[in-house]
């Protein structure tokens, strides 16, 4: 048996306890009447567009399979943090989840390019990249680590929110502890801006902000609103430094156990849910900004020019240190030109 597999099993047993591990071990199984049950966990709340899209996907899978495949969706980190859910997928104890493409960087190095700040010219450019050959190839880059990408969900554009002052320029980040995703690119970006990057689980961030463990964070409007982080952070500075997509992934151990028709049902449902999620997202961004303004959040739109300039060294360093991956950046820039 693969040594890496056994190592992950041991880690998960130590983290969750043997009892919960055994429950999860059979979470992708065949139920009464030959019905296949697949568990899907994620860390967001039930009002988030991502959760609504997952429920839509589960419904479509049930319809397409005529009830032969049931996907059960577990929100709010019920089955673990984003990183823990990925580990559960790797050993086949969980069927599906949603992760930020930034989280996949350690499993699929080419995914790093999607975390580069100011990579996309606009939404149309981003969509052409993700729905085209480059994006589709990236979805399969993590298969060697037992993770297969099914589709991308819109995770909008990430901007800074803070407790004590707005972030109007990179200078405003100096001396501040900024919560970041577990991503080398995110860490390097905050350092380029002059801040101090601090990786913290999304589920623990509200308390971390309250207690002053971090001074600020960065995310898209719907996530800021549904997490209620705006109750602590009254300044939202929309500089839109990254547009990192979410990725719906399935355990290859589950995927490889499916018949060709079953795979087709799941892939079609995932693609349909992505289209549905994009529509939900657009409406959610408008609603989130409006509601946060009503709640007293100060929303500003700083000029992104200084932020762009501050990360130019990131591109230069990336080109020199990882020329093969930088070639993907150049391909992305050519899309639509």
Q: pLDDT per residue over 155-201, tens digit each? A: 999 999 999 999 999 999 999 999 998 888 999 999 999 999 999 98
Least confident stretch, 24-28, 183-187, 310-314: 24-28
Write the CATH number of the domain with boundaries 158-243+288-334: 3.40.190.170
Closest CA to 51 of 207, 220, 276, 225: 276
pTM score = 0.85
Q: And the tokens for 228? A: 């209620």
CATH number of 3-154+245-285: 3.40.190.170
Dist CA 109 CA 336 (whole Å): 24
Q: Where in the chain is the domain with CATH 3.40.190.170?
A: 3-154+245-285, 158-243+288-334
Between CA 193 and CA 183 the distance in angstroms is 16
DSSP 74: E
| 305-116-94-179 Cα dihedral, nearest 10 degrees | -50
- Angstrom distance (rounded) from CA 12 to CA 17: 8
Residue 323 predicted with pLDDT over 80: yes
Q: Which of 51-65, 79-93, 161-175, 260-274 has the lowest mean pLDDT?
A: 79-93
């Amino acid at each position: 048996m693969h040594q890496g597999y056994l190592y992950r099993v041991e880690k998960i047993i130590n983290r969750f306890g043997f009892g919960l591990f055994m429950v999860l071990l059979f979470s992708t199984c065949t139920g009464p009447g030959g019905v296949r049950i697949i568990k899907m966990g994620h860390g967001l709340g039930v009002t988030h567009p991502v959760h609504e899209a997952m429920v839509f996907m589960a419904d479509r899978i049930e319809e397409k399979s005529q009830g032969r495949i049931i996907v059960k969706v577990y929100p709010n980190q019920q089955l673990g943090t984003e990183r823990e859910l990925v580990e559960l997928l790797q050993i086949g104890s969980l069927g599906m989840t949603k992760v930020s493409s930034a989280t996949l960087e350690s499993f699929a190095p080419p995914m790093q390019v999607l975390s580069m700040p100011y990579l996309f010219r606009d939404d149309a450019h981003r969509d052409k990249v993700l729905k085209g050959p480059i994006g589709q190839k990236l979805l399969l880059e993590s298969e060697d680590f037992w993770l297969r990408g099914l589709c991308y969900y819109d995770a909008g554009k990430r901007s800074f929110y803070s407790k004590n002052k707005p972030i109007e320029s990179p200078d405003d980040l100096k001396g501040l502890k900024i919560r970041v995703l577990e991503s080398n690119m995110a860490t390097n970006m905050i350092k380029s801006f002059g801040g101090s990057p601090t990786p913290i689980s999304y589920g623990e961030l509200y308390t971390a902000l309250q207690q002053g463990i971090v001074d600020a964070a960065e995310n898209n409007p719907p996530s800021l609103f549904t997490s209620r982080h705006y109750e602590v952070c009254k300044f939202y500075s929309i500089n839109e430094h990254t547009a990192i997509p979410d990725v719906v992934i399935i355990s290859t151990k589950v995927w490889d156990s499916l018949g060709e028709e079953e795979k087709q049902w799941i892939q079609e449902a995932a693609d349909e849910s992505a289209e549905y999620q994009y529509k939900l997202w657009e409406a959610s961004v408008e609603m989130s900004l409006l509601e946060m303004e009503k709640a007293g959040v100060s929303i500003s739109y700083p000029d992104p020019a200084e932020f762009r300039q501050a990360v130019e060294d990131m591109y230069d360093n990336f080109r020199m240190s990882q020329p093969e991956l930088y070639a993907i950046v150049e391909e992305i820039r050519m899309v639509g030109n």
